[in-house]
A = this chain, B = another copy of it.
Amino acid sequence: MERLLSVSNSLGKLFIITSFGESHGQCVGVIVDGCPAGLSLKAADIQKDLDRRRANVGVASTSRREKDRVKILSGVAGGFTTGAPLCLLIMNEDVDSSAYEAMKSQFRPGQADFTARVKYGGFNDWRGGGRFSGRITATFVMAGAVARKLLDTIGIEVFAHTVEIGGIKAATLPYEEIRRKALKDPFSCADARASAKMAALMETIKRKGDSLGGIIEGIALNIPVGLGEPVFDALDAELAKAIIAIPAVKGVEFGAGFAATRMKGSENNDPFTVKGCKIITTTNNAGGILGGISSGMPVVVRVAIKPTASIALEQSTVDIEKMKKATLKVGGRHDVCIVPRAVPVVEAMMSVMLCDFAMRAGLIPRVLK
């Protein structure tokens, strides 16, 4: 069974990101290859999104305290990208692997401990989850920050927000309001009333040593008609792939998604109309994608995040050394609910993929002025 190893840590065709590093190793980092020359890029541009990923406060958050300072090691000269690959690096600081020591031979349910051990023949860096830790998403966020700056140059805007935690649903609001309110909310939820309920629920669940999941909605505005490369590199297909690579994602749906399966064609079809000199649809059940190609309407994707696998409660598992059943209490520091922290990660993966498509379509010039 040990022969099953093979890996793939790169994503994209013209805007290509390569993730590396481990949770409790020396660093996490990402190479961005294909970034056009002439983009103004400072560490601060990237730090901003990293801080959003890290900063979530209160009950939702792990207590790991790292500054996560990004360094730009290559690809920038005089404050502008050079066209050469960017190396974006965070050195790990606050690493304490002791809590994991006990779990080395006992697989945490819901985690990659078992599958990684088998696939990598036991050589994988299991400390803190290694490559399977949520910490790896910091590399996605760094790459996403670069992609976002490139999308900015052509007016594409990407944002995400929490629409559900532990079954508590946020009210539907206009994009305008979502964008504004979600950024300020501790759970990235635009509906303050729902957010308060989520906070209370999380507090309760935390005391019980349990965890929660939820749903994030990602939105991209000002998308031109024509992004996506059917049949196989369809826009929705590639977005789904990029988003599902985020740990804990168990499903994605576009536009009306699973709800569309219960509608009739006459209800689900979005009628076309003319607005100014543009052709639009009066509804957006398609989530901005028709035939794998962007329609110019907002791209809307909803992402299912499972409840955090690491819980304080005792769980049944197997001790692989003894090859028999065992009970396990997971130590270490973990989030009650990672949904809020995953919001900037969903934005990052959407940005990376949309940037790649915009480049494939020739929309982002290879040298910016």
Contact = CB atoms under 8 A, between A and B. Distances in A.
Given A25-B74, A240-B244, A307-B263, A231 B19 contact: yes
Interface string A31-45: 101101110000000
Given A8-B229, A37-B120, A270-B110, A210 B265 contact: yes
Interface in A299-334: 304-311, 313, 315-318, 320, 323-325
Nearest to A295: B115
Specify which of A28, A127, A240, A274 lies most central, judged by the most chain B CB atoms within 10 Å of its CB: A240
Interface residues of A, number: 156
A153 B338 CA distance: 41
A209 to B, nearest CB: 8
B291 A74 contact: no
Contacts of A320: 279
Contacts of A285: 306
A338 B139 CA distance: 38
A318 to B, nearest CB: 4
Contacts of A89: 73
A75 B274 contact: no
Interface in A12-28: 13-14, 16, 18-22, 25-28
A311 B268 CA distance: 11
Interface in A62-98: 73-75, 77, 80-87, 89
A135 B187 CA distance: 45
B271 A317 contact: yes
Specify which of A20, A308, A316 lies most central, judged by the most chain B CB atoms within 10 Å of its CB: A20
B210 A83 contact: no
Given A109-B272, A110-B269, A272-B107, A5 B130 contact: no
Interface string A108-123: 0111101110111101
Contacts of A272: 107, 109, 114, 316-318, 325
A362 to B, nearest CB: 5
